Amino acid sequence: MTNSLRILALASATLVAGGAAAIPPPPPPTAAQLAERGDDLAWSITEDLTTEIGPRLAGTEAESAARRWAVARLQAMGFANVREEQFLMPTWVRGDEEASLIGPFQPQKLAITALGNSASTGPKGVEGDIAYFPSYDALAAAPDSQVKGKIVFIDHQMERAQDGSGYGQYGRGRFIGANAASKKGAIAVVIRSIGTDNHRTPHTGGTNFEAGVTPIPAGALSNPDADQLVRQWKRAQAMRTNENEMGYTPEAVRMKLLLTPKQVGEQHSGNVIAEVPGSDPAASPVIVACHLDSWDLGTGAIDDAAGCGIITAAAKHVMSSGQPRRTIRILWAGAEEVGVFGGKAYFDKHGTEKHAVALESDFGADRVWRVDFKLPASAKGVEDRIAAELAGLGIVRGKDPAGGGADIGALVKAGVPTIDLQQDGTRYFDLHHTPDDTLDKIDPAQLRQNVVAWTTTLAILAGSSDAELP
């Protein structure tokens, strides 16, 4: 055991249960110290998962292999109570993907990917005029006659932001755009990718259809290809404006689309759970979460193998420093990308159990820059100690309450306190849900900083008293 970890163990041991004031622990190993001793545990987990398993689409054999891999890895690391908790879920798989602009200009192929839950065009594809909408709101407000029988295109360029704000606003075109288009009679929908890059790498992600709404083919164009479609549409509109001078009515922009995904029925997914047992079995546990599944275009490195590496490395460091007072429960959730089925399954099984606090890492691998809290008033001392220690890492204290993450969302909604260790998301949506989500995009130094921040936070939480965190 290193001197730094011995200090952590001593600090943890001196925390008193039952309401006595806790002695603030010194900070855990710094990023520099971890680097000096070659401690890149989070990197090792991330590298091994993306190399040995790769893409992990929920409900497929690849995700099942990932669960077997995770159980073996967590057991080998010395965690306790390692198990898989399976559940059934509807499963969608990708097929052929092609798109072309076929009129009124020279035909051109486009880079496209199907959205999760997209219907199939059939093996021959579909052709249709483009109905252009600058936003989801414009589509929602349009009369059915503007949409019926056409391929809807939703154009909505997402803006870059450190905290990822805008994803919810611009993402509506992906989340529910196909549903709205189907209800108005569209034969298909194509969106500009929900991303901030300018590469010909389209971003996938789930779309959703209400009960009773007929699913239609739905795809996302890369940003440069969306730009090309927009230029053609604007040029065609200008030609229509001048049609009297031209002596004929110009054709509309027309697309041919081939998407052949399919629903394969209920398949097994599952959560993988492991624990660092606490010394006080009566104390409610701290739960830390990530998600094991990924989309199938890349290897799921930033989304979310890195998150699993971060939380697991932090829990291992706390465990290595000596037994904490509270149990730390690790949740590698399944089937997050396609509907947060793992988080729902965990809540259905464990939601009545008492949890002291819930945290999640699912926003890439770049450095933590802000910490947000949503803790009871009794935990003010815990909050202050965490904020003070993280300040030494350049992490500022946020002013807004923490929101939690997808896989702990049901717990947080039920009243479980939460903390957000906010990562820098400036480049996250360059890579999100694309073929570019690969290991080489992760910066080991920034990943290491995440581990230090998480280890610091977990050490304090796992040693907190019942008076602070009931």
Last residue of a domain, one of 212, 240, 260: 260
pLDDT at 124 over 80: yes
pLDDT at 3 over 60: no
pLDDT digits (tens, 9 = 90+) for 399-436: 999 999 999 999 999 999 999 999 999 999 999 999 99
Any domain includes 468: no
Same domain, 110 and 255: yes
Same domain, 102 and 177: yes
Any domain includes 367: yes
Last residue of a domain, one of 260, 293, 317: 260
Q: Calculate the alpha carbon distances from 247 to 235, 239, 240, 250, 284 in Å.
A: 17, 11, 11, 9, 78
Count of the separate structural domains present in the chain: 2
Q: pTM for the full model? A: 0.91
Same domain, 201 and 129: yes
Residue 358 CB-density burial (10 A; 0-12 exposed, 13-18 middle, 19+ buried):
buried
CATH number at residue 178: 3.50.30.30
Any domain includes 373: yes
Q: How many alpha carbons lie under 13 Å from residue 413 in its C-beta half-sphere? A: 10
Any domain includes 204: yes
pLDDT digits (tens, 9 = 90+) for 17-74: 333 344 444 455 555 566 555 579 999 999 999 999 999 999 999 999 999 999 999 9
220-239 mean pLDDT: 95
pLDDT digits (tens, 9 = 90+) for 340-362: 999 999 999 999 999 999 999 99
Any domain includes 168: yes
> If residue 455 lies in a helix (H) or strand (E), which one and from where to where?
helix 444-462
Any domain includes 469: no
pLDDT digits (tens, 9 = 90+) for 242-281: 665 555 556 799 999 999 999 999 999 999 999 999 999 9
**8 Å CB contact between 456 and 390:** yes
Any domain includes 26: yes
Last residue of a domain, one of 260, 282, 314: 260
**8 Å CB contact between 294 and 437:** yes
Any domain includes 453: yes
Same domain, 136 and 151: yes
Same domain, 159 and 141: yes
280-304 mean pLDDT: 98
Domain range holding 202? 95-260
119-138 mean pLDDT: 97
> If residue 78 lies in a helix (H) or strand (E), which one and from where to where?
none
Same domain, 434 and 378: yes
Same domain, 183 and 129: yes
Alpha carbon distance 356, 470 (integer Å): 6
pLDDT at position 8: 41
pLDDT at position 17: 35
